[in-house]
Amino acid sequence: MLGREFVLPSGRCPICGAENTFTIRGRINDIPHFGETMETLVSCSNCKFKHADVMHLEEHEPMRHEFKISSEKDLMVRVVKSSTGTIKMPELGITVKPGSGSEGYISNIEGVISRIERAIELAIEKADPIKRRRGMSKLNKLNAIRNGEKEAKIIVMDPFGHSAIIDKRAKKRRLSKREVDKLKAEL
């Protein structure tokens, strides 16, 4: 079923201040396991600002999802990350925390790995030689995971329960109050 789409009329851009250049587009879908979910894209045709987000319109329990990536086939497992979700890959020492500009998205494990690779590539451009070597090592490990040569865990945690790994093999559990408090403090 296609979702309900909406477009709000152009207005003033909060970034560059240009008039009639700022647009909000969205769609509300009923997604299995999550209920009503709103995807939005705000953009400015003048300064090219863009921000996408996925917001769940129903409340859920704070959850932790864990999945072991052990083959190339596992790269197709669906991942929903809201703007409040944290992603970890412990074997690589990678934690992606939400920030003030954090975007929600619906992707798969390969898409998450690609996003992490782009972030590492940007970080090592200006890094000192030691950090550059560490970054290159992480990129090599991510490539090995992508090629099915290395196993790794991916963990998605969300204090509002809006993020998940959608696969029957994923382990999931409710977050403890302490875990929720720690994640909320990082928002």
Q: Which domains does the chain have, with CATH numbers?
A: 4-56 (2.20.25), 63-185 (2.60.120.1040)
Please tell me the predicted confidence (pLDDT) of residue 7. Answer: 92
| Confidence (pLDDT) at 46 | 96
Residue 1 has pLDDT above 70, yes or no: no
Element (H, E) at 156: strand 152-158
Q: Say what percent of the chain tops pLDDT 90.
A: 74
* Residue-level pLDDT at 34: 67
Q: For residues 35 and 62, what is the distance between their CA atoms, to the nearest angstrom?
A: 15
pLDDT at residue 89 tops 70: yes
State if pTM tops 0.75: yes
pLDDT number for residue 70: 96
What average pLDDT does the structure give for the chain? 92
SS3 185: helix
Provide the pLDDT for residue 177.
Answer: 96
Position 171 confidence tier, pLDDT thresholds 50, 70, 90: very high
Token duo for residue 116: 């992490």
Encode pLDDT of 46-80 as tens digits: 999 999 887 778 778 999 999 999 999 999 999 99
Query: What is the pLDDT confidence band of residue 108, given thresholds at 50, 70 and 90?
Result: very high
Tell me the mean pLDDT in the region 28-55: 87
For residue 111, the cross-strand partners are: none
Residue 31's pLDDT is 77
- Tell me what pLDDT residue 2 has: 61
> Using 50, 70 and 90 to split pLDDT, how confident is the model at 102?
confident
Q: Residue 144: is its pLDDT beyond 80?
A: yes
Does residue 35 surpass a pLDDT of 80? no
Contacts of 159 (CB under 8 A, 6+ apart): 62, 84, 175, 179, 180, 183, 184, 187
